[in-house]
Amino acid sequence: MEAVQQLEIDYTTVVPESADGLLAVVVPGTIEASVTSPLRIGLAMPVLGDAHAEVWRTDLPIERGVDGAVVWSSAGDLLVGAIAVADAGPIAARADDSYRSVISFVRRAGFPNILRLWNQFPRILVQNDGLERYQAFCTGRYAAFESAGYSLEGDLPAASAVGTSGDGLLVTVVASRRSAGYFENPRQVSAFHYPRQYGPKSPSFARASRVETEGGALIFVSGTASIVGHVSLHCGDAAAQVDETVENLRLVYGAAAGRELRSLREAAGALYRIYVKREEDLETIRERFLPRIGDDATCLWLRGDICRAELLVEVEMIGRE
């Protein structure tokens, strides 16, 4: 008998009609999170290439619900939730509100271990009152984690924060009943230890997280870019940024997998989301990136703004061990 799969993620061009076995679908388009079956998580970013939906399937019975502004779906030990809030007033306050809601919800629901957060909001690099909106977002996120009792060092989930062309803040969460492991990259300063020059409060995320499931370990690698130490490298050079990013992914994935990878091709069946800042760099980035990953890997290419102006590409991964 095949092992029960708690979570399988595929890409399709057509969103399935039936909700059977669908934990969530991540659909490029407007930001939306609703409890219409299955949970539909909008991506306010254009897809570069064939339009694909990311389909999250499970063999386990699914529960779905709404809790305040959080819509959610769970199967076994895993829960997926999303909260969409209007981008009114300061982004720091919206980040603080939405994180408080998410953290309190996952705790009440019995899935207190947050594995992964995706943050999407527009005008990420626009300055307001001397702070970029991304930096303001980081202050609100930090405040929410702090007030929830996080140590903000070694107990933070994997994440990404990407600038969209939509409106509103969308936060998506994956959380577990089981405790998770959190991992860092030996050649990068942990984001939660970035120096003050990157903003008044450091970004609250781990480089990767890992949880055991019925079907093996699930690994989430955070948005990863051309950063060594805490410094962005290869400004203006998309191909060189890909090389640096691939090296970071290889090391972070290896840390979470507990084995050294000679190349990303050894992360069998991994899923990659690639955020490209300027569409004119797409071909350069594809040609450089695709030979570095396995033939069995799956990619979703999106047009999104990266949270440092000089970064042209960011890549995140989901893997199984």
Residues in touch with ligand 3EB (CB under 6 A):
119, 159-161, 191, 203, 205, 222-223, 225, 227, 307
Whether cis (ω within 30° of 0) applies to the bond prior to 38 is yes
Of 77 and 87, CB closest to ligand 3EB: 87
CB atoms within 10 A of CB 3: 10
Distances (CA, A) of 241 to 79, 152, 234, 310: 34, 28, 6, 10
Give Cβ neighbours of residue 161 (< 8 Å, ≥ 6 apart).
Answer: 119, 120, 124, 134, 137, 203, 223, 307
Nearer to ligand 3EB, 45 or 62 (CB): 45
Q: Which is nearer to ligand 3EB, 22 or 138 (CB)?
A: 138
Q: What is the DSSP letter of 264?
A: G
Catalytic residue numbers read 314
Half-sphere exposure of 87 (CA within 13 A, CB side): 18
CB closer to ligand 3EB, 76 vs 203:
203
Q: DSSP letters of 160-176?
A: EEEEESSSSEEEEEEEE
Sign for the CA dihedral angle at 93, 95, 96, 101 comes to positive
Amino acid at 316: E
Rounded to the nearest whole angstrom, what is the least distance from the CB of residue 238 to ligand 3EB in the complex?
16
- Nearest residue to ligand 3EB by CB is 223
Q: Which is nearer to ligand 3EB, 73 or 160 (CB)?
A: 160
Give the amino acid at 152. Answer: L
Greatest CA separation for the chain = 60
How many angstroms separate the Cα of 35 from the Cα of each of 61, 69, 112, 306? 16, 11, 21, 30
Q: Which residue's CB is nearer to ligand 3EB, number 64 or number 210?
A: 210
**CA distance to 70, 113, 153, 199, per residue, from 170 (Å):** 11, 20, 24, 22
Nearest to 118 by CA among 73, 173, 42, 57: 173
Q: In angstroms, what is the minimal distance from the CB of 295 to ligand 3EB?
A: 27
Tell the smallest beta-carbon distance from residue 62 to ligand 3EB (Å): 28
Nearer to ligand 3EB by Cβ, of 98 and 160: the residue is 160
Cα dihedral value 257, 187, 296, 17, nearest 10: 80
Q: Report the distance separating Cα 63 and Cα 73, nearest Å.
A: 6
